[in-house]
Structure 1
Amino acid sequence: MPLPIGTTKDCRLYCDYAQLVKLQSQTTGFTLLPQLKSGTALSGRHTSLFRGRGLNFEELRHYHQGDDIRNLDWKVTLRTGKPHVRCYTEEKDRHVIVCVDQRSNMFFSSVEMMKSVVAAELAALIGWRVLKDNDRIGLVLMQGEQLDWREAQRSQNHWLQRLQMLAEANQSLNVRSDDNSLSGFSALLHLLGRMKLRNTTLIVLSDWTGITEADLNRFKLLQQHNDVLGVMISDPLEHALQPTIIEHQRTGKLPCSFSWTVGNGNKQLHLSQAQLVSASKGLSASQQLKKDQLVNLMAAKHLPLIELDTRGEHLSQFIRAAGGMA
């Protein structure tokens, strides 16, 4: 359930619907429009180099084996004595689906802002940018017990409704939140497979908890006819505990010998200093493995893996990354 009416929201813990709407004013600093060939990064109808029988004439060139003879320019062919064809650019609607993770694993931060808030605000920003480009935007919510999906539309009212649902899902998270398999990556990929997507841009905003090798292979299959852009949201503490421990010892926040007690709201675990160092190494190795797998997935379409953190600078981080791709 969302927060009770009248409850003051800490913007670091929960996103606010009004704030998601206000992000519409921040779409001028970047663009998701491609300037690349169709089928590559973020391809779509804008400045598309997809060759076909479109309305816009592109060039006149010599005939090559396999060219459509219906595109032969007979006047030029007769005048030059060599066959020439007329080439066109084809305009295509761009269909963008944002998959935003609002599961319990996203309700975490050791610094400024919850990963769930980072994902929600970024989803809103992307949606407003897509609508500004007059394209269709859809949103898949990965939340507690289920996935929530509505058909993508080119409608501001539709997007406002989706943002309201996103805000409610975000505000329902707490330390006792739990998930099931119906909201994980396997269920997400099953849903996307049923849609039979073609020429769609999929943007996944998550910390990618629970991703398996089989899931990554299914993402690769989706990339045969679509573009998949991965955004990895992580917290500094998830990469390694050791630097945090050393920094706290240096500043006097921790004694030279210490132990930690960690919990998830239901269970607690007591770690000695030696156990904590060992856990830090394992955590760092696990995080690097997940990152390497995602980098390989993105490399199939020459896309970068965009990495964002919870320090509160996620919007500017993404805008810089998007500017590099546009």
Structure 2
Amino acid sequence: MAAPAPSASPAPASPLALLRQLEWRVRHAVENVLSGEYRSTFRGRGMEFDQVVKYEFGDDVRDLDWNVTARLGEPYRKKFVEEREVTLLVVFADTPSLQFGSADISKREALLELAGFVMLLGAVNRDRVGFVHASPTGHTFRAPVRGRGAILHAAASLLAIPPPSVRATGPADAQLPWRLLARAAPKHSVLLWLGDFPPQAVPEGWPVLQRRYQTMGFRVDDPWERALPTRGLFAAYDPAASRLVTLENSAAERAAHAAWRAARDRSWHALFPDPLSRLVVATDENRLDALVRFFNARMRAGSRR
């Protein structure tokens, strides 16, 4: 008798269905873990200058205008008007190297999940959220929008973009529209750059964005990037090189791997010098838990300032 045919694999969830699953987890985190303070972790001192006024007891000494104080002989401070809302611009640098995954999930899948979480956090907190998706072949821009439905649609659009061909050449960062990014959101908005961040020089347009926005970076590591497997001789597919490579677990390979990691971390720290502005998560870690820890660390640091 013939064996029964294997059951068909369930179809993958649509981006919108996936986002709705993530949304419940985000709402739980905001209401029960972040305690509604998510906004302050992004806003920081991102406020528009209004005028110079006399300093009064109890005012924040960080706002002192030393030039005016020295000229008039008594303390004056800068007065700011807080922006009414936060604008979040998600920049997703999509490269073939993100398609690597030594376990159940690729780096790209994990990074898109992080992007979805952050965009949903913006929706829950009534912020404006937009995105730029860049790949070696070009970019897609969605202007910041407000409202749960509009942000869900924008996030679903980002998650639905197909990955670049593994034969695509050139870094996605080279396709980032720096001039567009410099005017894509109001001053003091949050710019979140997600990518693979290989060893690289600081892009020419990056310092301009750092002056205009609050900048943060999210990176996802595969376990093999943190430590080479020790199982001996075996072959693995390298999506960045679009070919099979043989790993021998030799001393030379381990030394080259350590040098690559050191160079990657140096360039990563040069892009995001403040430890509270960068997040690194492994594909075998819980992304939402890591995000909550990241925001809590920023909140604790903000409360001490």
What's the TM-score bracket when you normalise by the shorter of the two chains? 0.7 to 0.9
Map residues 132-171 of structure 1 onto 2, 5 A cutoff: 132-143=124-135, 145-169=137-161
2:174 equivalent to 1:186: yes
2:220 equivalent to 1:233: yes
Matched residues in 1 for 2:66 and 2:195: separation? 46
Unaligned regions of 5+ residues in structure 1, if any? 1-5, 36-40, 69-81, 249-257
Amino acid at match of 2:121: R
Indicate the residue corresponding to 1:20 in structure 2: 19
Given candidates 285, 288, 296, the residue that maps to 1:315 is: 288
State the secondary structure of the residue aligned to 1:150: strand
Given candidates 35, 39, 42, the residue that maps to 1:33 is: 39
Deviation per CA, 1:176-220: give whole Å up to 9, x if none. Answer: 633344x711221535455375222111122213x62142x5323
State the secondary structure of the residue aligned to 2:205: helix
Matched residues in 2 for 1:308 and 1:137: separation? 23
Q: How many residues align?
A: 274
State the secondary structure of the residue aligned to 1:110: coil
Matched residues in 1 for 2:66 and 2:260: separation? 51
State the secondary structure of the residue aligned to 1:151: strand
State the secondary structure of the residue aligned to 2:129: strand
2:209 equivalent to 1:222: yes
Amino acid at match of 2:10: T
Indicate the residue corresponding to 2:94 in structure 1: 102
Give the drift of 1:308: 0.4
State the secondary structure of the residue aligned to 1:224: helix
Distance 1:159 1:65, change over 3 A: closer
Unaligned regions of 5+ residues in structure 2, if any? 1-7, 300-305
Equivalent residues of 2:95, 2:196 under 8 A apart? no
Indicate the residue corresponding to 1:305 in structure 2: 278
Distance 1:85 1:44, change over 3 A: closer
Indicate the residue corresponding to 1:43 in structure 2: 44
Map residues 244-283 of structure 1 onto 2, 5 A cutoff: 244-245=229-230, 248=231, 258-264=232-238, 267-274=243-250, 277-283=251-257
Indicate the residue corresponding to 1:202 in structure 2: 191
Equivalent residues of 1:100, 1:142 under 8 A apart? yes
Give the drift of 1:233: 0.9
Equivalent residues of 1:298, 1:305 under 8 A apart? yes
Give the drift of 1:313: 0.9
State the secondary structure of the residue aligned to 1:289: helix
Matched residues in 1 for 2:174 and 2:96: separation? 16
Equivalent residues of 2:65, 2:77 under 8 A apart? no
Q: Report percent identity of matched pairs.
A: 15
Distance 1:159 1:272, change over 3 A: same
Answer with 1 or 2: which has the greater Rg.
Answer: 1
Matched residues in 2 for 1:19 and 1:58: separation? 53
Give the drift of 1:84: 8.6
Map residues 104-119 of structure 1 onto 2, 5 A cutoff: 104-119=96-111
Give the drift of 1:259: 2.1
TM-score w.r.t. the length of structure 2 is 0.74
TM-score w.r.t. the length of structure 1 is 0.70
Deviation per CA, 1:3-39: give whole Å up to 9, x if none. Answer: xxx973568xxx843122332222413353236xxxx
Matched residues in 2 for 1:44 and 1:226: separation? 11
Amino acid at match of 2:244: Q
Equivalent residues of 2:100, 2:238 under 8 A apart? no
2:10 equivalent to 1:8: yes
Equivalent residues of 1:106, 1:115 under 8 A apart? yes
Distance 1:304 1:87, change over 3 A: closer
